[in-house]
Structure 1
Amino acid sequence: MIKKHIVSFSGGKDSTAMLLRMVEEKMNIDEIIFCDTTVEFPEIYNHIEEVEKYIKIPITKLKTQENFEYYLLNYEKKKGKAEGQLGYSFPDHKNRWCTSKFKKEVIKKYLKEKYPDEKIIEYHGIAYDEIERSKKNNEKNIQYPLIRWNMTEKECLQYCYEKGFTWKGLYEKFDRVSCWCCPLKNLKELKILYKTYPELWNRLKIWESKTYRKFRSDYTVEELEKKFKREDQQIRLPGL
């Protein structure tokens, strides 16, 4: 059976380091796939263009027919107790619907249609210090080059910097550059989002006003904003 070597590329530091080194070591690459969640940081889209120019290999960009906002607010649930309810609302630890809707389902459908008779080998950018994540995946067709190379997250970022990729300072602000609207970001990162991306923050507030579940289990977007403002006021008070 013919094998096809498919690189899963998110545009983050780990998948970028994996892709650059695979190209450097002349490993087999039949296609590189980026799944657009439609809520990526603007810097990610620019980074992807830079990587394409650097490796001189086209990157396939996939996305669902509907965007994140549609699934968040307007998708009509078809079964179960929530049948007829509109929107999945914000994802959480128990229901990360965004991962399946914008990545797993999209890639699976695409590969099945394009390579119906080939054996697919996927390459995922999981770093050495996140090896436990790879153990949770039972699919035998997925390989983890970064783990084989013992490359940690810190080493992946440094490797990318040495190649000239900076994401326009995105990793100086955030530890992880997942979807900008992810409720699973820590409070430090959410405060940076509030202060440096006001347009995106305002969009979060609008979304929360239209859905049935608050942004996080511990805070609404409005509550977070008040918290961040209080913290800044305390810093500015004399004698503190």
Structure 2
Amino acid sequence: MEKHIVSFSGGKDSTAMLLMMIEKGIKIDEIIFLDTGAEFPDMYNHIKKVENYINRKIIILKAENNFEYMMLHYEKKKGKNKGQKGYSWPDFRNRWCTQYLKKSVISKYLKKYKNDEIIEFHGIAADEVERLNKNKEKNIRYPLAEWNISEKQALQYCYDKGFTWNGLYKNFDRVSCWCCPLKSLKELKILYKKYPELWTKLEEWDNKTYRKFRSDYSIKELSKKFEGERNELYNLQLLPFM
């Protein structure tokens, strides 16, 4: 028996994909969201809004331990770093968060369908060629790509349906984990300016771990950089006095 599973990240592409699939009457057995514990607060509100809109339950899966625990407290059990506490900040070489908080969780969950053929639906747009080429696993479909829907079209479709993420996409290109070191400096600056409570959390974590937030900047260094840029703009009278 086939099981049709929608992988729902909550972002613009997976949201557009889900709503379009429902509109087209495509069979959906389950809708699954993987909660890392580091999602934007507005993302949790978005998920509830989508649930109410489609009148269906979105299954929220979580690893045994969330991002903060794995980053700061998890004790490594083997290897040269045995006994070391936490994986620290992820980077391009070690994206442990994707493996432990997403891939392993969904893999474990889907084992209950071991006697069924699982077809997963992922929200990757037609113009995300690189991601499509990297994701050629068996039994994964990409409806947006099949329908030639671009990222821009997917976002506008969601806006037309009334989904705004409280402005997240006006500030960020990607709205996955808010604490990701792989964000651009532009996005990190917006996080610093507009989400001070999250930035405070970054500072707290950065003070407790052993690896630099980025190869070029710690959170403390970024704070100093962004504050200096803001002061410079004030001095040039390009910003109103606050």
C-alpha deviation, 1:239, in angstroms: 7.0
Between the aligned partners of 2:212 and 2:204, the Cα distance in structure 1 is 12
C-alpha deviation, 1:116, in angstroms: 2.3
**What is residue 36 of structure 1 aligned with on the other side?**
35
**What is residue 76 of structure 1 aligned with on the other side?**
75
Structure 2 counterpart SS, 1:66: coil
C-alpha deviation, 1:238, in angstroms: 3.2
**What is residue 16 of structure 1 aligned with on the other side?**
15
Structure 1 counterpart SS, 2:27: coil
Query: Which amino acid letter does the alignment assign opposite residue 83 of structure 1?
Result: K
Query: Which amino acid letter does the alignment assign opposite residue 12 of structure 2?
Result: K
Is the 8 Å Cα contact of residues 124 and 144 (structure 1) preserved in structure 2? yes
Is the 8 Å Cα contact of residues 11 and 48 (structure 1) preserved in structure 2? yes
Question: Any gaps of 5 or more consecutive residues in structure 2?
Answer: none
TM-score, with structure 1 as normaliser? 0.96
C-alpha deviation, 1:30, in angstroms: 0.4
Give % identity: 66
Matching of residues 1-240 of structure 1 within 5 Å: 2-113=1-112, 115-238=113-236
Query: Which amino acid letter does the alignment assign opposite residue 149 of structure 2?
Result: M
C-alpha deviation, 1:149, in angstroms: 0.9
Structure 1 counterpart SS, 2:189: helix
Between the aligned partners of 2:183 and 2:45, the Cα distance in structure 1 is 22
C-alpha deviation, 1:200, in angstroms: 1.1
Deviations 1:53-92 (A, max 9, x none): 1111111011012111110011111222222211110001
Between the aligned partners of 1:167 and 1:238, the Cα distance in structure 2 is 34
How many residue pairs align between the two structures?
238
Segments ≥4 residues shifted beyond 4 Å: none
C-alpha deviation, 1:235, in angstroms: 1.1
Between the aligned partners of 1:170 and 1:222, the Cα distance in structure 2 is 24
Query: Which amino acid letter does the alignment assign opposite residue 163 of structure 2?
Result: F
RMSD, aligned CA: 1.1
Between the aligned partners of 1:54 and 1:110, the Cα distance in structure 2 is 26
Between the aligned partners of 2:68 and 2:182, the Cα distance in structure 1 is 17
Is the 8 Å Cα contact of residues 4 and 30 (structure 1) preserved in structure 2? yes
- Cα 1:161–1:78 change in 2 (3 A) is same
Between the aligned partners of 2:137 and 2:221, the Cα distance in structure 1 is 41
Is the 8 Å Cα contact of residues 131 and 147 (structure 1) preserved in structure 2? no
Between the aligned partners of 1:122 and 1:131, the Cα distance in structure 2 is 19
Query: Which amino acid letter does the alignment assign opposite residue 237 of structure 1?
Result: N
Between the aligned partners of 2:53 and 2:237, the Cα distance in structure 1 is 52
Structure 1 counterpart SS, 2:154: helix
